[in-house]
Structure 1
Amino acid sequence: MKILKEWIAERINDDIYFFDYGEFSNLEEINEGTKWSLKKANLKNRRITVAIKNLDNNSKITKRSFKGFINKIKTFSKSHQNINRFLGLTKDSEGNYFSVWKYIFEGSLRDYLKDKFSLLQWNDKIQMALDITSGLMFLHSEAIVHGNLDANNIFIKNGRLMIADLSFCDSSKQDMEYDIYRLGILLLELSIGPLNSQGSFSLVQTYGKIEDPVENTPLEYQRVYQECWHEDPDLRPEVNEVYEILSQLKSKSNTNENLDEIFKGSLTPQQIIKKVKLNYGLILTEYDIQPGVQAIFAEDGELKMSLYEGQPMVYTNINGLQPVEVCINFPIAEITYKGDLLESFSKYADDDEKLHESFGHFFARKILLGGKIFIKKFGLANQTQI
Structure 2
Amino acid sequence: MKLIKEWIEEKITNGSIPYFEYDEFSEITDLDSGNFGQVFKANKGDMKIALKIIVNRSSKEKINEADDEFTKELNLLHEIGSHPNINGLLGITKGPKDYILVLEYANDGNLKDYLEEKFATLNWNDKIKMALDITSGLKFLHSKEIIHRDLHSKNILVNKGKLLIADFGLSKKLADAKTGSVANKMGIIGYIEPLCFNKTYYKKDKKSDIYSLGVLLWEISSGHPPFSGCSQDLVNHYIQNDEREKPIEGTPPKYQELYEKCWNGEPKSRLDTVEVYTILSQLSTEDFSYLPSPQPDETNPSVDNSYGFHISTNFLTIL
Give the TM-score of the pair, scaled to structure 1.
0.56
Kindly indicate whether the alpha-carbon contact (under 8 Å) linking 2:219 and 2:226 is maintained by their aligned counterparts in 1. no
Structure 2 counterparts to residues 230-309 of structure 1, below 5 A: 230-253=264-287
Kindly indicate whether the alpha-carbon contact (under 8 Å) linking 1:84 and 1:102 is maintained by their aligned counterparts in 2. yes
Match of 2:157 in 1: 155
Amino acid at match of 1:123: N
State the secondary structure of the residue aligned to 2:216: helix
The offset of 1:105, in angstroms, is 2.3
Structure-1 separation of matches of 2:74 and 2:34: 27
Match of 2:222 in 1: 192
Amino acid at match of 2:210: I
Structure-2 separation of matches of 1:161 and 1:40: 18
Structure-1 separation of matches of 2:149 and 2:229: 18
The offset of 1:86, in angstroms, is 1.4
- Structure showing greater radius of gyration is 1
Kindly indicate whether the alpha-carbon contact (under 8 Å) linking 1:33 and 1:107 is maintained by their aligned counterparts in 2. no
Match of 2:54 in 1: 55
Match of 1:127 in 2: 129
Amino acid at match of 2:52: K
Match of 2:249 in 1: 215
Structure-2 separation of matches of 1:7 and 1:251: 48
The offset of 1:10, in angstroms, is 5.7
Structure-1 separation of matches of 2:137 and 2:113: 20
Kindly indicate whether the alpha-carbon contact (under 8 Å) linking 2:41 and 2:49 is maintained by their aligned counterparts in 1. yes
The offset of 1:117, in angstroms, is 1.3
Structure-1 separation of matches of 2:223 and 2:95: 40
Amino acid at match of 2:222: I
Gaps of 5+ in 1: 258-386
Q: RMSD in angstroms over aligned alpha carbons?
A: 3.6
Cα distance, 1:30–1:212 mapped onto 2, change above 3 Å: closer
Could you tell me which of 109, 112, 117 is aligned with 1:110?
112
The offset of 1:53, in angstroms, is 0.7
Gaps of 5+ in 2: 58-62, 179-203, 291-319
State the secondary structure of the residue aligned to 1:194: coil
Match of 1:21 in 2: 22
Cα distance, 1:74–1:199 mapped onto 2, change above 3 Å: farther
Kindly indicate whether the alpha-carbon contact (under 8 Å) linking 2:116 and 2:223 is maintained by their aligned counterparts in 1. yes
Tell me whether 1:81 sits opposite 2:111 in the alignment.
Answer: no
Structure-2 separation of matches of 1:4 and 1:160: 35
State the secondary structure of the residue aligned to 2:277: helix
Identity of aligned residues (%): 41
Count of equivalent residues: 251
Structure-1 separation of matches of 2:222 and 2:28: 37
Q: Deviations over 1:90-148 (max 9, x none)?
A: 22232x22110122222211111111212221111111101111111111112221222
Structure-1 separation of matches of 2:155 and 2:16: 25
State the secondary structure of the residue aligned to 1:226: helix
Structure-2 separation of matches of 1:247 and 1:131: 10
Amino acid at match of 1:252: E
Cα distance, 1:206–1:113 mapped onto 2, change above 3 Å: farther
The offset of 1:241, in angstroms, is 0.6
Could you tell me which of 228, 233, 244 is aligned with 2:262?
228
Which structure shows the bigger proportion of residues in strand conformation?
A: 1
Q: Deviations over 1:340-360 (max 9, x none)?
A: xxxxxxxxxxxxxxxxxxxxx
108-117 vs 63-72, greater mean Cα deviation: 63-72
Amino acid at match of 1:169: L
Match of 2:138 in 1: 136
Structure-1 separation of matches of 2:3 and 2:70: 10
Kindly indicate whether the alpha-carbon contact (under 8 Å) linking 1:5 and 1:57 is maintained by their aligned counterparts in 2. no
Kindly indicate whether the alpha-carbon contact (under 8 Å) linking 1:40 and 1:51 is maintained by their aligned counterparts in 2. yes
Kindly indicate whether the alpha-carbon contact (under 8 Å) linking 1:3 and 1:61 is maintained by their aligned counterparts in 2. no
